[in-house]
Structure 1
Amino acid sequence: MTDHELKINFKEYDTLKELSAKDHSLCQEAVKAMANSHSPYSKFRVGAALRLQSGKIIHGSNQENVAYPSGLCAERVALFYWGANHPDDPIEAIAVTAHTDDFEILQPVTPCGSCLQVLAEYEKKQNKPVDILLFCNNGPVWVMNSVESFLPFLFFENRLIL
């Protein structure tokens, strides 16, 4: 038997003010995106913003449906929009935030496994990692340099690519 250990590295900032102007602005765009959340069931609003290499910003917000599995997370809304409309303009970074009136969110909310898998595929497609900025109102900001920080054993098979 061989015993293995995995470690991840990420940066934690106390506030958004510590970020570069470019990243701070992207986080503000995620807050704007959150305003379009359709979350009448969970009341848990999530916003995502992608910054593309061209400087273009793409917004996404979670979209719930009374048939719960039919909803979609903010990250995938933004990522699928990118894939359908701007696939030749690489993603540099994604910022994600969440808010609910039911309780105070004290630390960043991480993307779900499905969102991470989609992001992983797009990182492979563009052959370039994506910076991931996660933050909450009046709380810390976590910055990862690739989806592999979350999914070191991500599902990917190069022979499935056409």
Structure 2
Amino acid sequence: MEKEFKISFEAISNYESLDATEKKLFDAAKKIRENAYAEYSHFHVGCAILLENGEIITGSNQENAAYPSGLCAERTTIFWAAANFPNVKMKKLFVIGASKEALSSTPIPPCGACRQSILEYEAKQKEGIEIYFASLDGEIFKTKSIRDLLPFSFDASFL
């Protein structure tokens, strides 16, 4: 039996189409991207998370010569938010990634490890986190939940 799965996302035409909060998140992710430590890949990523209490948490990717020791911007930001605001829901997550010298790029979605981590926090808070992934010049895609990007997910129900 063959089944088809659809990935659900919304293409947002440009930065000007965002509301004020979404623009703040875009700007915060773009700015923190400049702090990425990406000496090996030269691929800089910034992430901004809006918490239910209105706080905006930011983070960037941090590499290491021992590649598995580095951490993506999304997980840097999520883990810091969860450690410092353990009972506050994450509402929106914005990610912007591109090579260091890029003037524009294609929107880059979270990698598999980051998708799995986001899934864990969606399960913990019992609701989705809106995920926005954007290019530097404002091309933006949005999903209502990481499950839209991870249709065959592994969670605690399998344990």
TM-score for both structures, normalised by structure 2: 0.94
Q: Is the 8 A contact 1:129 1:147 kept in 2?
A: yes
Partner Cα separation in structure 1 for residue 134 and residue 79 of structure 2: 22
**Misfit runs of 4+, over 4 Å:** 102-105
Q: CA deviation at 1:101?
A: 3.8
For 1:112, the equivalent position in structure 2 comes to 111
Partner Cα separation in structure 2 for residue 127 and residue 7 of structure 1: 22
Partner Cα separation in structure 2 for residue 101 and residue 149 of structure 1: 29
Equivalent pairs, count: 159
Q: Is the 8 A contact 2:30 2:136 kept in 1?
A: no
1:107-146 alignment runs, 5 A limit: 107-146=106-145
- The residue type equivalent to 1:119 in the other structure is I
For 1:10, the equivalent position in structure 2 comes to 9
Unaligned runs of 5+ in 2: none
The alignment partner of 2:131 has SS state of strand
For 2:146, the equivalent position in structure 1 comes to 147
- The residue type equivalent to 2:84 in the other structure is N
TM-score for both structures, normalised by structure 1: 0.92
Q: CA deviation at 1:157?
A: 2.5
Is 1:100 the counterpart of 2:99 in the alignment?
A: yes
The alignment partner of 2:2 has SS state of coil
For 1:48, the equivalent position in structure 2 comes to 47
Identity of aligned residues (%): 38
Q: CA deviation at 1:31?
A: 1.0
